[in-house]
Structure 1
Amino acid sequence: MRKRRVQRKNSAMLDSDDDNCNVISSSSVRSDQMSLSGTEEAVFYKDSLLDEAVDALFEKRGSTREKALEVINAAFSFNLQNQFLDNKFATVLHQCLNCIKKGSSKEIALASRTVGLLALTVGPGDNAHKILKESIDPLSQAFKSSSESSKIILLLNCLVVITFVGGNDPEEIENSMQIMQQLVHSKSSSNVSTVKPTAAVITAAVSAWSFLLTTMDGWRLGPKLWKGLVTYLSSLLDKDDRSVQIAAGEALALIFGMGSLEKLAGEAKGSCDGSVSEGNKSKEGFSHIHGLKEKILNQARDLFVEGGGKSSSKKDLNNQRSLFKDVLEFLEYGYSPETSMKIGEDTLHTSTWSKLIQVTLPLLILQFMSVACHGF
């Protein structure tokens, strides 16, 4: 009985007519912290508010759960909540997964962001691994039933974050990568949404896939699947969207940088000494791989010289030309792009495509730390 009374109190607290996504705004949080900082009252206020929000996640009314998730998101965005998670980790995770399974678009967006923040807060270890294992099925189901690009992209961000933090072995990382791949490139509609992916979804999925590929020590897909992936990415270079072209160009450069296509070509050439039938197939495979590489080279040259595709930003044209200039130099001469960026007092240098793509992780984290419900 006591728990129900508490939940009704939470419902009254959280169930207001305020539709503003920032239930606890950054200014109000800072103000509360300034006025209460350093006192036991501040700790009690923060913990009790979070406890009430967690209890409100059990409410039947969707709007109440949404506002509870907003409170939890705001708290995690401004402070590490390690002590709170010592007692509430499993409850928060399971209730967020329930919200992803049955919630509205806004609720799913907020819950997926909360799951990502949980992973970032607990860091690598058993809890992060538990987040990944228990989230895969709900996220996969959410992808199947989703038609809104903004929601799909938030789910993708959640998947890549929890996989990066919680993935313990290559099989788990590959599984997440296959989900991303099927989302935008699959003939089987039973495993993915039947809605045609938008350019924004394709860009997000290819970028997330590329990032996870950089974390793999090796790639165990068969030659046929490798060739299918490269062929698909090549087709994206002909899409009339610059963001898609840039994401596909980075992915292809990464694949070439890892030597995957050259390895396939070497395997095909090395197997030419078998039977006549097998030798002919191998020669055809060898020719196909080199023809595919030549096609990508020509596509990169065209996109560097002339550009192409639609974009809402003029600077995307310069970004596109700069990227494909680097891709062209890499494919023709083997020169990887070298970059430097300042991080605090240190300078980070990258000299491979893999390292260059890996530095996008801080941007992904910042994306998670932003308000998740914009557009809902």
Structure 2
Amino acid sequence: SAKIRQAALEGIKNALASKMLYEFVLERRMTLTDSIERCLKKGKSDEQRAAAALASVLCIQLGPGIESEEVLKTLGPILKKIICDGTASIQARQTCATCFGVCSFIATDDITELYSTLECLENIFTKSYLKEKNTNVCSTPNTVLHISSLLSWTLLLTICPINEVKKKLEMHFHKLPSLLSSDDVNMRIAAGESLALLFELARGMDS
């Protein structure tokens, strides 16, 4: 049943999160990836969240390299589909956005894929940007998804080539501060962290 699958996913995730088990995971990565894939495709919200959380830990255990790249190649398109699916639960989309960021950070070996991932995440969190007529950013049920997307996007910026970082700076530097006026404290924190990183990256380009 779904509850049993969810419990199994969470149990494995908790075990892998508490101890490095590289050899164990390496031998079973295909089985784990297949199970995660099935749960992401066919599961409901809680099962999808558990599967995405396990996918993150799986990539962390495997570390950068061909094995985690294969995991991302299999799961990346499914994660992206869920993130962009307006009919999926917000909680599942939020967890998938975090997972997509973490897995891409560890495993992306294709610059085109990295740019595509950044664009996917941008399309989500920029929906929170201040509209011209408003003075405050009001939170919505989607705000948690926007926060996770923003944080994943910020993480991935740190592995971008400098010319791409420049482009992103030009695109977002004047719009991101509007999120500091959000009525959601977590959005304000995420926006502050993202701006701080952008400042650091900009300073690095100048030096």
TM-score range, shorter chain: 0.7 to 0.9
Amino acid aligned to 2:70? K
Match of 1:79 in 2: 19
Figure out how many residues of one structure are paired with residues of the other and give that number.
192
Q: For the structure 1 residues 241 and 256, does the alpha-carbon distance in structure 2 shift closer, same or farther, using more than 3 Å as the test?
A: same
Q: CA deviation at 1:155?
A: 1.4
Please tell me whether residue 110 in structure 1 is matched to residue 50 in structure 2: yes
Match of 1:185 in 2: 126
**How do 1:151-300 and structure 2 match up within 5 A?**
151-185=92-126, 198-220=142-164, 227-259=170-202
d(CA) in 1 for partners of 2:9 and 2:102? 19
Q: CA deviation at 1:253?
A: 3.5
d(CA) in 1 for partners of 2:169 and 2:141? 22
Q: Does the Cα contact within 8 Å between 2:102 and 2:152 map onto a contact in 1? A: no
Q: For the structure 1 residues 103 and 250, does the alpha-carbon distance in structure 2 shift closer, same or farther, using more than 3 Å as the test?
A: same
SS in 1 for 2:160: coil
Alpha-carbon RMSD across the aligned residues, in angstroms, is 2.8
Q: CA deviation at 1:79?
A: 3.4
Q: For the structure 1 residues 94 and 255, does the alpha-carbon distance in structure 2 shift closer, same or farther, using more than 3 Å as the test?
A: same
Q: TM-score scaled by structure 1?
A: 0.45
Q: Does the Cα contact within 8 Å between 1:101 and 1:141 map onto a contact in 2? A: no
Q: For the structure 1 residues 111 and 258, does the alpha-carbon distance in structure 2 shift closer, same or farther, using more than 3 Å as the test?
A: same
Q: CA deviation at 1:221?
A: 7.2
Q: CA deviation at 1:156?
A: 2.1
Q: Does the Cα contact within 8 Å between 1:184 and 1:197 map onto a contact in 2? A: no
d(CA) in 1 for partners of 2:23 and 2:142? 41
- Show CA shifts across 1:170-213 (max 9, x none): 33332222221112226xxxxxxxxx663333332222211221
Q: CA deviation at 1:129?
A: 0.9
Please tell me whether residue 147 in structure 1 is matched to residue 95 in structure 2: no
d(CA) in 2 for partners of 1:71 and 1:251? 32
d(CA) in 2 for partners of 1:140 and 1:64? 25
Q: Which has the larger radius of gyration?
A: 1
Q: Does the Cα contact within 8 Å between 2:180 and 2:192 map onto a contact in 1? A: yes
Q: CA deviation at 1:100?
A: 0.6
Amino acid aligned to 2:89? S
Q: Does the Cα contact within 8 Å between 2:169 and 2:198 map onto a contact in 1? A: no
d(CA) in 2 for partners of 1:241 and 1:82? 39
Amino acid aligned to 1:131? V
Amino acid aligned to 2:145? V
Q: CA deviation at 1:169?
A: 4.0
d(CA) in 1 for partners of 2:49 and 2:100? 12
Q: CA deviation at 1:103?
A: 0.2
- Structure ranking higher in helix proportion: 2
Structure 2 residue aligned with 1:95, among 12, 21, 35? 35
